[in-house]
Structure 1
Amino acid sequence: MKTPEDIIREQQQAIWNQFAPGWKKWDDFTMQFLQPMGTAIISSLEVQDTDSVLDAATGTGEPGLTIASMVTKGSVIGTDLSERMLEIAQEKANHLGISNYQTKIADVSHLPFTDASFEAVSCRMGFMFFPNMAQAANELARVLKPGGRLATSVWAGPESNPWISVLMGIINRTLKLSPPPPDAPGMFRCAKSGLIAGFLKEAGLVDVKETVLSGQITYENTEQYWHNMTDVAAPVVNALRQTDEATIAQIKDELAARLLDQYGTGRLILPFSTLIVQGRK
């Protein structure tokens, strides 16, 4: 019999496989958006050129590919549940001529690696989707060598991320959608300060530290924003599938008016905020 975690795992795999084409289409844009979080993770890891590194929930390959370019005498393994996202990551590695990066389909709660396999572990925007975050933290700590470092990033709260929360607020109000259970996988599941830090401490890591990293994402206009969100944002796409074209047009018009009112005309510059959490074994 499948457990609730098995069901979540299968749902996550299906979602990310479904949205892989959209992520490939917008990969340059999305990787630029997420680069500050990757840079902060890499800085926290203090990697050496001989290190073996695990990039969990690697998606389309970052920050694992950047780390692989730094550990020239070492290697990086990028794991993910989605084989289609991993195909994109491997294509990027091949295109860039990065030969010390490889991908592996793996469940973060049951990693196929022996104890103490890696000098460093990175995980950018993955924890909020893991079925069992405590078990994931334990597994990531298990495969980390003594003295090795782990760093991860998660989204701060919706009030600090209007780049997505404004749109979802309009959708939820218009469609009268019920909020998901607070512990259901989703973008803001890990927004509570100290939550991920607590999991890392319970997993045996020390020198655990949480910092806030904020910035801005820039769109050419509201039209580009809409096309991006409806290609890559699973909660947006899945919600809009529940309604008709007229209602979607209404939501789009209200969104454009709201964004222009709050953030002005011309290029659309929206704030974001994340938490960077790091620790040492």
Structure 2
Amino acid sequence: MDAEVQRRIQRYGWDRAAGSYEPSWRHQLSRAHAELLEMAAPAPGERVLDVACGTGLMTFAAAERVAPGGGGVIGIDVSGKMLEEAWLQAVGSGVDNAIFHRMDGESLAIPSGRMDLAICALGLMYMPDPRQCMHEMRRVLGEEGRVAIAVWGGRQNCGWSSVFPIVDAEVASQVCPLFFSLGESSALVALCEETGFVVRQERRVFTHLEYADPMDACNAVFEGGPVALAWSRFDYVTRKRLRQQYLREIEQWRDVDRYRIPAEFALVVADKRA
């Protein structure tokens, strides 16, 4: 797919998902986010960039860590609607050391050497050119800077992954054809090394995505996730059929009406130089 088309799909898709994203995913991603933050260890006074920040789940957590000493965080995303949600939260909670800009992670409008830490939590899989994003994050880091990356793990370890072929059978969504590839084996480590980073720490996180009922489980993947744009174009009959297909796929993880769907994340922290 043409890179510009893919970027537009990402932008419009996450605009659609913005209102459902936090209710569907805040708790589900909390362990991966917490472990990545621990590994990244943002320190008081540091300048942090959060790439593909969405509604600011990682942005606000990092902002709290760096606030003493005058540190701050810049959150960037291609989705204006996601950033609107982030700004509303910042204003509502009185966070004054986090700002948000609509910006492409592959072309950062940030001066070189400005940041101490760059975070990209579950956003790299959506980039048309992940290597270019890594190069850009490296460029904006100071000489002692570091990057903290999280991606979804292997497809076979992510029980919700069946949503992609289910949707693709109806329409060529082409949201992220290589979605799980960065989570396979040592792919993320290799990407860091290929783009000039020195890997400091690698971690695999195995957890479960917990949903209270079938509607909750379906809303998360169809309305609050990467296929939201395609989902918005389906009629009622198609949506009903796709929900039924997805619920059959995740039936093995159902306990009465609740679901505990397995998930894996790959996490890496790497330094700009040894």
* 1:96-129 C-alpha deviation (Å, 9 max, x unpaired): 1110000011111111111111111111111111
**1:59-111 Cα distance to aligned partner (Å, 9 max, x none):** 00020111101111200000111111111111111111110000011111111
Asked whether the 8 Å contact 2:54–2:82 carries over to 1, the reply is: yes
Q: CA deviation at 1:130?
A: 0.8
Give the alignment of 1:1-281 within 5 angstroms. Answer: 4-23=2-21, 27-72=22-67, 73-162=70-159, 164-170=160-166, 175=169, 184-185=176-177, 187-235=179-227, 238=230, 241=233, 245-281=236-272
Say if 1:208 and 1:198 are closer, same or farther in 2 by CA, change over 3 A. farther
Query: Do the aligned partners of residues 40 and 261 (structure 1) sit closer, same or farther apart at CA in structure 2, a change above 3 Å counting?
Result: closer
Unmatched 5+ residue regions in structure 1? none
| Maintained 8 Å contact 1:128/1:185 | no
Deviation at 1:217, TM superposition (A): 1.5
Give the residue type in structure 1 aligned to 2:7: R
**SS of residue matched to 1:131:** coil
Separation (CA, whole Å) in 1 of partners of 2:163 and 2:66: 40
**Conserved? CA contact 1:68–1:101, under 8 Å:** yes
Decide whether the 8 Å contact of 2:253 with 2:259 is kept in 1: no
Q: Deviations over 1:126-160 (max 9, x none)?
A: 11111111111111011111222211111112211
Comparing 190-199 with 143-152, greater Cα deviation is found at 190-199
Mapped to 1, the partners of 2:239 and 2:64 lie a distance apart of: 43
In 2 relative to 1, CA 252–278 (structure 1 residues): closer, same or farther, beyond 3 Å?
same
Secondary structure of the 1:233 match is coil
1:196 shift after superposition: 2.4
In structure 2, the CA distance between the partners of 1:255 and 1:271, relative to structure 1 (3 Å rule), is: same
TM-score, normalised to structure 2, is 0.87
Partner Cα distance (2:253, 2:192) in 1: 38
Q: Equivalents in 1 of 2:18, 2:31: separation in Å?
A: 22
Q: For 2:86 and 2:64, how far apart are their aligned partners in 1?
A: 14
Secondary structure of the 2:261 match is strand
Displacement of 1:18 in angstroms is 2.5
TM-score by length of 1: 0.85
**Is 188-197 or 247-256 further displaced after alignment?**
247-256
For residues 149 and 179 of structure 1, what CA distance do their matches in structure 2 show? 34
Cα shift at 1:229: 2.9
State percent identity of aligned pairs.
23
Per-residue deviation at 1:237? 6.0
The letter for the 1-side match of 2:161 is S
User: In structure 2, what is the Cα distance between the partners aligned to 1:127 and 1:160?
Assistant: 18
Let me know the Cα RMSD of the aligned residues: 2.6
Offset, 1:246: 4.0
SS in 1 for 2:264: strand
How far is the alpha carbon of 1:228 from its aligned partner?
3.0
2:13/2:226 contact within 8 Å kept: yes
Structure 2 unaligned regions, length at least 5: none
Shifted more, 30-39 versus 249-258: the winner is: 249-258
